Amino acid sequence: MFEEMRKEPFFKEMRYSMHLLGQSYLSIAGLAIILLFVFMAVFTSFIAPYEPNVIDLANTLQPPSLEHLMGTDEYGRDVFSRVIYGTRYAFLEGLLAVSISLTVGTTLGLLSGYRGGMTDEVTMRLMDILLAFPYLVLAICIVSALMKPEGGFFLDPLMSGILAISIVSIPSYARLVRGTVLSVKETEFVEAARANGASSLRIAFVHILPNSLAPIIVEATMSLGTVVISAAGLSFIGLGAQPPTPEWGALIASGRFLLPTYWWCATFPGIMILLFVMGFNLFGDGLRDILDPRLRR
């Protein structure tokens, strides 16, 4: 049976894709970086030598040494441990924001492209409106509208930030999916499904959606990085994760005022963001080359 399966076009395609992936050193490097971060997020407590929030006033602002690989901050907390714990927040922000915007955006795009007419018109105008705002500015605006006038937030600040970023990322998915739906909608296999009496819902999700998966996967991979940069940007100006949360943007924000003497507090979290985002960018680039047959040469 296994032999039979190996001849299926799907598996042939998969094997070919794997082969292509293996040929591209940069995407392999990207994948390796991603896996390293996944490892750090899973085994955080084994890798981090100290508790992230334990204050040690005898050892404040120590420069990087063997004991504290990335030094300590103004409360004597180990920067290396905090940065490792930050990996979890990066994945939380990235995965949550991407899955929210992906779900909502894909549904809107499917509906819009498949139904056409007024549905399409209204949805796309809504997306245009969201796109008219500069990405980060709209996110800032949404989070600050969630602040209580007497101080504090209506929603957990980290979640407010993730929610805001999810909302502003919806249009790119909606547009992408709508475009692919429009090109697939008129093909013969969709017509065949319709002739067989399949419902609209079934056609949209079972026949059309799988054909738009490739660009969605690429977009999601690439935007996982972008989302983490934006979330860090929000925490940097005090609108996302709040101290003492060891989120990378918040770490940079509190390390900012320790420059120039205690440079390690702001420098290392930034390097982590750079590597994290770079991993997803490299891998996403490679995925696009593989999943887009036109780019295969």
Identity of the residue, 46 or 257, whose beta carbon is nearer to other proteins in the bound complex:
257
Give the count of residues interacting with other proteins (CB under 8 A): 48
Identity of the residue, 133 or 205, whose beta carbon is nearer to other proteins in the bound complex:
133
Among 8, 13, 67, 128, which residue interacts with other proteins (rule: CB under 8 A)? Answer: 128
Identity of the residue, 177 or 224, whose beta carbon is nearer to other proteins in the bound complex:
224
In order, the DSSP letters of 237-290 are TTSSSPTTS--HHHHHHHHHTTTTTTTHHHHHHHHHHHHHHHHHHHHHHHHHHH
Candidates 177-185, 200-208, 211-219, 268-276; binding stretch for other proteins (CB under 8 A)? 268-276
Among 79, 174, 216, 252, which residue interacts with other proteins (rule: CB under 8 A)? Answer: 252
Does residue 215 belong to the site contacting other proteins (CB under 8 A)?
no
Among 202, 211, 267, 291, which residue interacts with other proteins (rule: CB under 8 A)? Answer: 267
Distance from C-alpha of 157 to C-alpha of 235, rounded to nearest angstrom: 9
Distance from C-alpha of 193 to C-alpha of 204, rounded to nearest angstrom: 11
**Beta bridge pairs of residue 72:** 78
* Geometric angle at alpha carbon 120, from 168 and 118, rounded to 5°: 130
Among 79, 84, 97, 142, which residue interacts with other proteins (rule: CB under 8 A)? Answer: 142
Distance from C-alpha of 170 to C-alpha of 103, rounded to nearest angstrom: 9
Candidates 39-47, 64-72, 204-212, 271-279; binding stretch for other proteins (CB under 8 A)? 271-279
Residue type, 127: M
Among 134, 199, 201, 206, which residue interacts with other proteins (rule: CB under 8 A)? Answer: 134
* Phi, psi (degrees; rounded to nearest 5) at 173: -70, -45
Distance from C-alpha of 57 to C-alpha of 76, rounded to nearest angstrom: 5
Q: By CB under 8 A, name the binding residues for other proteins.
A: 125-126, 128-129, 131-138, 140-142, 144-151, 154, 225, 229, 232-233, 236-239, 249, 252, 256, 259-260, 263, 266-267, 269-270, 273-274, 277-278, 281-282
